[in-house]
Amino acid sequence: MTGSLRARWEAYWFEPGHALQLAVVRVLAAGTALWVLVSRDRAGVSGLGSEFWSGVSAITRWRFLLFPGHETLERALTLLAAVLLVATLLGIRPRVTALASALLLYHLAPLESIVWTPAPYGRGLTLPTLALLLCGIAPSADALAPGARTTAPSWRYGWPVRLLQVWLVSVYFFSGVAKLRASGLAWASGENLTHWLRLATQNELVNVHVAVGGWIADQPLAASGAGALTLAFEFGCVVALFSRRARPWFALVAIGFHVGIYLAMNITFNSWPLLLAFVDWPAARDRWRGWRGGAVLA
């Protein structure tokens, strides 16, 4: 029994993977991180007065090596992170640059919310930081470089992608766990969804899009359905970790899920490009080559 479980564990984590899949993950992670990094001015938070840092404990400051009054240094580190991310994106010494980027993002990302919480999840750099750490550990065989040699599938390319997929699924799974713990199944009631949607479309601070959310909120059946489907998706997405066929569908549904939330509730999920790690890129490449070959022959 133990031997069988161990064998399944080994087969799950160390199933041979393609270098191309890992290279795509590297590009997705670096691209997403770069986009989010240059979109907002985190370094400026370091230059805010000490009053804004009054709630930041000593352990938090040392945990992230973040101290007020170093705006110029933080700007230099942000620039360095951007340069490293471009290098990672282009495949220039990707192992070193990805690892260094992950370490810098670990330092820079909390600046965004540190005046009240050191946990900036939901702001867009959490998953890219973890993904870049994986890219810094995994082999740098660059399957995306022009004229790159095809390498045989190996366990070394497989487990980092699998771990990233686990982290991506955990976003939805633990979001579902949090809902059940805080509200129970009543979270999925039409009344609750209606109230959330109306708040998101009536609150002047966030109501950029109002049509979709307002329409769903006015249809009791649609609101109940949205609540039930949300919980079903958040727990059902675990299937994507074990079913190869479910993976691209999970990516598609998850991206649709975020588009819906964006339009209905004015909430963004900036790490959405990483969901493309669920697409089987080597298979997509082979299909593309086959299609092109067929088209040329025709």
Partner 1 sequence: MIGELVALTGWIVLVATGAWIALRERGTSGTGGPSAAVRRFIAVALAMSLLAGFSQRELWPFATWALMPARSPADVRIRALVCVDSADRPFAVDHRAWAPLTEEELLSWTRGPFTRLEAAAQRTAIVSLTERVEAGRVRARGGLSPAAHASPLGRFAASSHLLHPLRWTTPERTPATPCVALRLVERRWNVDSAAAGRGVVIESTLWQLPPHEEEP
Task: Give the binding-site size for partner 1 (rule: CB under 8 A).
Answer: 95
- With CA atoms as reference, report the closest residue to 270 among 106, 104, 32: 32
For partner 1, which is the closer residue by CB, 12 or 248? Answer: 12
In whole angstroms, the minimum distance from the beta carbon of 282 to partner 1 comes to: 18
Q: Is residue 214 within the footprint of partner 1 (CB under 8 A)?
A: yes
Distance spanning both ends of the chain, measured CA to CA: 54
Asked if 10 contacts 32 with a C-beta cutoff of 8 angstroms, the reply is no
Q: Is residue 31 within the footprint of partner 1 (CB under 8 A)?
A: no
Q: Is residue 99 within the footprint of partner 1 (CB under 8 A)?
A: yes
Q: Is residue 190 within the footprint of partner 1 (CB under 8 A)?
A: no
- With CA atoms as reference, report the closest residue to 225 among 259, 189, 173, 258: 189
- 34, burial (CB in 10 Å: exposed 0-12, middle 13-18, buried 19+): buried
Footprint of partner 1 on 230-259 (CB under 8 A): none
Q: Is residue 288 within the footprint of partner 1 (CB under 8 A)?
A: no
Q: Is residue 83 within the footprint of partner 1 (CB under 8 A)?
A: no
Among 21, 88, 165, 270, which residue interacts with partner 1 (rule: CB under 8 A)? 270
Whole-angstrom distance, CA of residue 202 vs CA of residue 176: 25
Q: Is residue 60 within the footprint of partner 1 (CB under 8 A)?
A: yes
Q: Is residue 63 within the footprint of partner 1 (CB under 8 A)?
A: yes
Residue 174's Cα: distance from chain center in Å?
Answer: 14
Footprint of partner 1 on 116-155 (CB under 8 A): 116-124, 126, 129-130, 133-134, 136-137, 139, 154-155
Q: Is residue 70 within the footprint of partner 1 (CB under 8 A)?
A: no
Asked if 125 contacts 36 with a C-beta cutoff of 8 angstroms, the reply is yes
Among 18, 42, 107, 247, which residue interacts with partner 1 (rule: CB under 8 A)? 42
Which residue type is seen at 157?
A: Y
In whole angstroms, the minimum distance from the beta carbon of 1 to partner 1 comes to: 20
Q: Is residue 208 within the footprint of partner 1 (CB under 8 A)?
A: yes
In whole angstroms, the minimum distance from the beta carbon of 234 to partner 1 comes to: 9
Q: Is residue 14 within the footprint of partner 1 (CB under 8 A)?
A: yes
Q: Is residue 39 within the footprint of partner 1 (CB under 8 A)?
A: yes
In whole angstroms, the minimum distance from the beta carbon of 283 to partner 1 comes to: 22
Angle at 25 between CA 21 and CA 31, to 5 degrees: 145
Whole-angstrom distance, CA of residue 28 vs CA of residue 20: 12
Residue 38's Cα: distance from chain center in Å?
Answer: 17
In whole angstroms, the minimum distance from the beta carbon of 21 to partner 1 comes to: 15
**Cα-flanking dihedrals φ and ψ of residue 219, to 5°?**
-110, 100
For tokens 């991506």, the residue is 168
In whole angstroms, the minimum distance from the beta carbon of 76 to partner 1 comes to: 14
Tokens, residue 98? 């990805």
For tokens 């966030």, the residue is 206
Among 7, 8, 44, 79, which residue interacts with partner 1 (rule: CB under 8 A)? 44
Q: Is residue 262 within the footprint of partner 1 (CB under 8 A)?
A: yes
